[in-house]
Amino acid sequence: MSEIPENLRDASNRMRRQPFDLQVPFWATSSFRWLIIFAVMFLALLVALVFDILPKMQGKLKRTTPPPPPLDARASAIRFDGVLNTVQDGTPIDMGERAYQYLVRHLETTDPEALAKAAKEVSFVHFGNQPNDLRGETIQVQALLADKYALRLDPPVGGREWVYRVVLANPFGKEGYTIDLLDPPPEIDRKSLVQVEGIFVKNATYESMDGMKTVPFFLGRRMTLVTHRTATTGADMEPWIIGIGGASALLFVLFSIRVYRQARRKSASILPVTKLS
């Protein structure tokens, strides 16, 4: 038998001394499969929150009302002596406007209880679609208090020198209302659920950081705190939704870190194999 050449013998020895790479690819480990399962569950929860749970919650909070019947010219002329016919939608609130001052005088002699009994519930969308049919109607608004402040009437109207402007918004912040009140609003915290009965004047515009905004504007007598809620509002549910989403994201991150560390430990614990028997 011929001897093995020296160079081949040295190569064979090096191969026996060199460890075999028995490291399993990360994508083939059970940890990777669990990571994929957890990621799919997290994405499914996120999709359910955004496209199913939140829209259903918003739909439950919105009580849609049928559109108001068209208002004929005669009824429009009779309502408040026709002063509201000169009101233009899409314009800023003008406290010196004839219609504004007329309604202030009218509300001065109106019983708040009678105003509340005559108030109607109207869906937000109808103010944009049929403002002429709603102009002069007494509307009941239930929403969260966003802001309130006093405004001076210069000159005074019928002996009244001050009115109180309140800004209301729905729980999701997509619907806003501005209302000038004759009676001082109660001292309550912002985001409290309140109710106001007011006469719809117009869709008024104002300038915000995001550009020009348009909201329904009313004149009313008083604002009351709603103490008995018939349903959980979006503001109440918002912390729960944020908590569930945050907890899911945190668990996903912690699980990913754990999987990564396990993969590192497995990689470091692989022993070199110099001989297979």
What integer pLDDT is reported at residue 51 of this predicted model? 62
Question: Band of the pLDDT at 277, cuts 50, 70, 90?
Answer: very low
Mean pLDDT of the chain: 78
pLDDT surpasses 70 at 40 = yes
26-30, 70-74, 76-80, 136-140: which has the highest mean pLDDT? 136-140
pLDDT surpasses 50 at 274 = no
Q: What is the average per-residue pLDDT within 217-241?
A: 70
The helix/strand/coil state of 139 is strand
Long-range contacts of 33-38 (CB under 8 A, 24+ apart): 34/255, 34/259, 35/255, 35/256, 35/259, 38/251, 38/252, 38/255
User: What are the sequence ranges of the domains in the chain?
Assistant: 6-58+235-268, 75-231
CATH of domain 75-231: 2.40.50.140
pLDDT surpasses 60 at 257 = yes
Question: Band of the pLDDT at 144, cuts 50, 70, 90?
Answer: very high
Average the pLDDT over each of 62-66, 162-166, 184-188, 213-217 and give the range with the smallest value: 62-66
Average the pLDDT over each of 123-132, 168-177, 200-209, 256-265 and give the range with the smallest value: 256-265
Long-range contacts of 60-63 (CB under 8 A, 24+ apart): 60/231, 61/170, 61/171, 61/172, 61/231, 61/233, 61/234, 62/123, 63/121, 63/123
What integer pLDDT is reported at residue 190 of this predicted model? 87
Query: Which has more confidence, 228 or 100?
Result: 100
pTM higher than 0.85 for the full model? no
What integer pLDDT is reported at residue 230 of this predicted model? 44
The helix/strand/coil state of 31 is helix
Question: Band of the pLDDT at 140, cuts 50, 70, 90?
Answer: very high
Query: Which has more confidence, 35 or 276?
Result: 35
Question: Band of the pLDDT at 90, cuts 50, 70, 90?
Answer: very high
Q: What is the average per-residue pLDDT within 129-149?
A: 94
| C-beta separation of 119 from 140 below 8 A | yes
Question: Band of the pLDDT at 33, cuts 50, 70, 90?
Answer: confident
Query: Which has more confidence, 189 or 277?
Result: 189
Share of the chain above pLDDT 90, in %: 42
Q: What is the average per-residue pLDDT within 46-56?
A: 64
